[in-house]
Amino acid sequence: MKSLSRAGLGLIVLACATRAVTAQEISGLVADREASAELAKIVATVRQNGLPLEPILAKVQYAVMVRSPAPRIVAAAHAVAARLEDARSALAPQPTATDIVAGENALWSGVSRKSLEEVRKVSPNKPVAVPLGVLAQLVVSSVPEKKATKYVTDLIKRGATSDQLVALGNDVNAEVRLGTRAMDALEVRMNRLNAVLGVPGANGDAASVPTSLQSGDGKKKP
């Protein structure tokens, strides 16, 4: 199943991201001498450009695990390197390595560069790895990209926490696996978040809570 494969590879990326990766570690995974040499060149270029190597290691590990032919592994590594560069550019000016990894995974999951730019636009000075991960998860769960991007960016503007965003993505994914339509599952979760964050205003920010509700007793304060 396509979404499960992506989820599995995402876990490998997260595991690899906790430690440094060497060129020998990546190229050494492939027995084919020519492919190994090509992988070493890709790694050297990516490192020279200051990009994280973890997604390439994850992709190669996964490809070896499913017994992909050597030329396909090299092509996949090239594609990851290109997405890493694209993600860094879309998340400029100063994305963290974790942001870039999340951006690459989002691009691979079917999220467009434009959506990455939208997430960066509403969160210009904060890490965006979590919202990008949730955006990718929603798209993989069959939420239309434009709607997924709008919901995620609105939640960022309204101050949703990382835990709230992660719970949203996980809950929608779980419901979809049980047979619920993606948009139905998303709407239910959004209604619950609206009860906590406040109903969004016209600009996507949370509407102010009436004074009568702030008092806690249903009456206006004197």
pTM of the model: 0.79
Per-residue pLDDT, 21: 59
Strand, coil or helix: 45: helix
Residue where a domain stops, chosen among 55, 75, 108: 108
Residue 180: both structure tokens together: 């619920």
* Domains contained in the chain, number: 2
Q: What is the pLDDT of residue 1?
A: 36
Q: Both 117 and 187 in a single domain? A: yes
Q: Which two tokens stand for residue 215?
A: 């008092």
Burial of 159 (0-12, 13-18, 19+ CB in 10 A): exposed
Q: How far apart are CA 171 and CA 147, in angstroms?
A: 17
With respect to residue 211, please indicate whether it lies within any of the assigned structural domains: no
- Please tell me whether residues 128 and 93 are part of one structural domain: no
5 and 61, same domain (yes or no): yes
pLDDT band at residue 7, thresholds of 50, 70 and 90?
very low
- pLDDT score recorded for residue 205: 54
Residue 76 has pLDDT above 70, yes or no: yes
Q: Are residues 38 and 131 in the same domain?
A: no
Question: Residue 222 falls within a domain, yes or no?
Answer: no
pLDDT at 93 over 90: yes
State whether 97 and 44 are in the same domain: yes
- Beta carbons of 102 and 66 less than 8 angstroms apart: no
Does one domain contain both 89 and 117? no
With respect to residue 205, please indicate whether it lies within any of the assigned structural domains: no
From 58-62, 87-91, 105-109, the region with the lowest mean pLDDT: 58-62
Based on the fold, state whether residues 104 and 118 are members of the same structural domain.
Answer: no
Say yes or no to pLDDT of 59 above 70: yes
**Residue pLDDT, tens place only, 14-45:** 444 444 556 666 766 777 788 888 988 998 99
Q: What residues make up the domain containing 76?
A: 1-108
Q: Which of the four pLDDT bands, split at 50, 70 and 90, describes residue 106?
A: very high
CA dist 190 to 155, 167, 183, 211, Å?
9, 11, 10, 24
Q: Which residue, of 85, 108, 131, is where some domain finishes? A: 108
Tens of pLDDT along 175-214? 999 999 999 999 999 999 999 987 665 455 544 433 333 3
Judged by DSSP in three states, 200 sits in strand
* In-domain check, residue 9: yes
Looking at residue 187, its pLDDT comes to: 95
- Average pLDDT on 110-121 reads 98
Q: pLDDT band at 155, cuts 50/70/90? A: very high
pLDDT of 150 over the 90 cut:
yes
